[in-house]
Structure formats: structure tokens, C-alpha cells
Structure 1
Amino acid sequence: MEPADIQGDLSEVLLSEAEIHARIAELCREIERDYEGRDLLLVGVLRGAVMVMADVSRELRRHIEMDWMAVSSYGAGTQSSGVVRILKDLDSDLTGRDVLIIEDIIDSGLTLSWLRENLSSRGAATVEICALLRKPAAAKVEVDVRYVGFDIPNDFVVGYGLDYAEKYRNLRAVGVLAPHVYS
């Protein structure tokens, strides 16, 4: 779905598909350098990170393994509750592994902080984070993110995997959802 298909639902387009793909390519070159010669496990956070995980994994010019975890701190609302529930756990043993969490967006940082601690406690050698989007103004806790695609304003955004009430995930760009849609 293109922004023009839902233009009445967006107040603005923040990032085009081309901008997103170009930045993911840059991040992947950094990841390749940083993890050269190391066994890398990408952990995608369902469902929002599906698009980012797909593009990162395809852009990387090396072997990787992938696993998925589903956690929730949102419910049906537009703001994180901060209470994390595991909806789907990993299938992989993390002992001694270099883990790179692939995330769509960092809002408050509460979920990602919890997730990093949880994966580290499972014996991973390293746990780093790659997030397409980060909202610095929304941060409630400091989270060290090794790879950040874009810092964005503290607006409610959709597209490229990000949803509102399970809609807009297939938007090929990232846009600010117009308030009349969720008010």
C-alpha cells in the first residue's frame, strides 16, 4: 500500500520506502563489519519488526540465523503500558550467542530494556539492538541502541510494519497517523 492509497489517514509522510531501504543498507554494512567472523542470531520482535527483519536479513551479505519473539506492552492503545507480556518465545538457545534484536520502533524504551535484560539472562554472549525508528522525546528509560535508522518526532506513526488496530502495517512508507483516525 502506498501513502496515496490512504492519504486522508495520514497527516504527513515522514519516510519514503526509498529512504528506509537506503538507511537499512547503511546499517547492514555496519553490522557486517561489527560481526565479521562471528555467529550472528537476529531476533525479530513480532509483529511490527517483520518488514525491518525481512529487509535487514536480505540486505546482509553473510550467513545469519533468525528467530522471532512476540512481546506486547500496547494492547489496543497508542501508548506503551510498560507491562511486558511474552506472547511467543524464542526457539533458539542463546547460550554463548551474539544476538541482535531487530525492532521497528523505540518509544518509551521500557519494552526494549526489559527484552535486552531477558535475553542477556539466557546466557547470550552479547545482546545488541537495531531499530529502524527511535523517538528520543518519548524515552522513559535510557536504552543503548547500537544501530538506529532514524530519530523521529514523538508522533503516532504507522507503516512499514507499524500498526494502529492491526491496520497500516503494509504501508510502504512511515507516516504520521492523523488524529481523527484514532480519536
Structure 2
Amino acid sequence: MHPCLEKILLNEDEIVARCKELGQQITQEYKNNEQPPLLVALLKGSVPFLAELIKHIDLDIQFDFMDVSSYEGTESIGDIKIIKDLDCSVKNLDILLVEDIVDTGRTLKTVKAMLKNKGAKTVRVVTLLDKPDRRVVDIEADYTGFEIPNEFVVGFGLDFNQKYRNFPFVGVLKEECYK
């Protein structure tokens, strides 16, 4: 185990198994739609989750990316900055927003509203991790991989100062490594 990790919270097998379940659920819920949803992944943290999830969705999906930021250091400041917007129009589309973690909920709430304002028919959310103890706005994911305690997690796309994203698991970072 990496010396900056306190423990492994979710191993790779658990994550893959849950992505398979989520993919099957999404397939069932969207299979009778006129067209499959457009998956919109929020960069950078959701990329490993998106990559694993789409293997298990049995629909002709498309995906696009947005890069938004609301963080300074380790704290969400609540002011959303768009770094990269979508390459395609979302007008009259069902959107499935792919997120690595729902924490305070500020970013997610703002991005959902933006997509609705751009004309999306529906905007639903799938997240790998949900940390409800940190929520400051009223928002919930439609599909959740795992609910986790209020610990500083890294791996499977989640980072601290751009490090640890490549871990194939989700681990808890030791406090002395980020304070």
C-alpha cells in the first residue's frame, strides 16, 4: 500500500462489480427511449469511472466532457468556473451526468441547471461516490456507486494536487499527506 494511504476503502473488484450493476440499471432504464442518453463526464476525476461504466452499458451511447472547477486547494468555494464546455448541443437530449464524487453538491447543482438552461430534456446523475455528510445544497444522484464517510479519498480518478488519480482503487489519504 502507498505510504500516504491510511486504508483502502474500495478495491478494484468492488468498483468494477458496482459499475457492472450500474451499467445494467442504466441500460434497463434507457433501453426504450427514442435515443440513448448523452453521457457528460466532468473532468478530470470522472474519467476512470466513465471508462469502466460504459463497458457495462448496452446502448449506443455517446459521451462528451466538461471541465468545471469550484475548488481552491482542498475546499469548495462555491463559485463555478467553466474551463471546458461541451463540444455538442444538448438541446432535447437526455443527459446522464457522470461524476466521480458528490461532496458539497454545489458543482453538480450548478452544472445540472446549466444543462437544463441549454435545453436538455432531462438531466440525471450517476456518481461513483456519494459523501452525504458534506452536502450543503439539496441534490442527490440518480445512480450511486457507493456512499462513503467524510474522509479524504483518492484513487480511481480522485486526486490530491493532481496525484493519486491512477490508483485502481479508492483509498483514504493520511491527514499528514494533505495538511
Please give the range of the TM-score, normalised by the shorter of the 2 chains: over 0.9
**Distance in 2 between residues matched to 1:69 and 1:99, nearest whole Å:** 13
Summarize the alignment of residues 58-137 of structure 1 with structure 2, pairs less than 5 Å apart.
58-75=55-72, 77-137=73-133
Alignment partner, residue 42 of structure 2: 45
Provide the secondary structure at the position in 2 that maps to 1:141: coil
Structure 1 residues not aligned, in runs of 5+: none
**TM-score when scaled to structure 1?**
0.94
Aligned pairs, number = 177
Letter in 2 for 1:21: V
**Distance in 2 between residues matched to 1:165 and 1:26, nearest whole Å:** 31
Q: Give per-residue Cα distances to partners, 1:95-136, cap 9 Å, x unaligned.
A: 110100000001100000000000011111100000000101
Letter in 1 for 2:178: Y
1:79 offset after TM fit, Å?
2.0
Identical aligned residues as a percent? 43
1:74 offset after TM fit, Å?
1.3
Letter in 1 for 2:10: L
1:37 offset after TM fit, Å?
2.9
Provide the secondary structure at the position in 2 that maps to 1:140: coil
Query: Larger strand proportion, structure 1 or 2?
Result: 2
Alignment partner, residue 22 of structure 2: 27
**Distance in 1 between residues matched to 2:147 and 2:74, nearest whole Å:** 19
Give the conservation status (yes or no) of the 8 Å contact 1:82–1:110: yes
**Distance in 2 between residues matched to 1:64 and 1:89, nearest whole Å:** 19
**TM-score when scaled to structure 2?**
0.96
Q: Indicate whether 1:16 and 2:11 are aligned.
A: yes
Provide the secondary structure at the position in 2 that maps to 1:80: strand
1:80 offset after TM fit, Å?
1.3
Structure 2 residues not aligned, in runs of 5+: none
**Distance in 2 between residues matched to 1:144 and 1:175, nearest whole Å:** 23
Letter in 2 for 1:168: Y
**Deviation above 2 Å: which 4+ runs of structure 1?**
none
**Distance in 2 between residues matched to 1:70 and 1:179, nearest whole Å:** 27
Provide the secondary structure at the position in 2 that maps to 1:83: strand
Provide the secondary structure at the position in 2 that maps to 1:44: strand
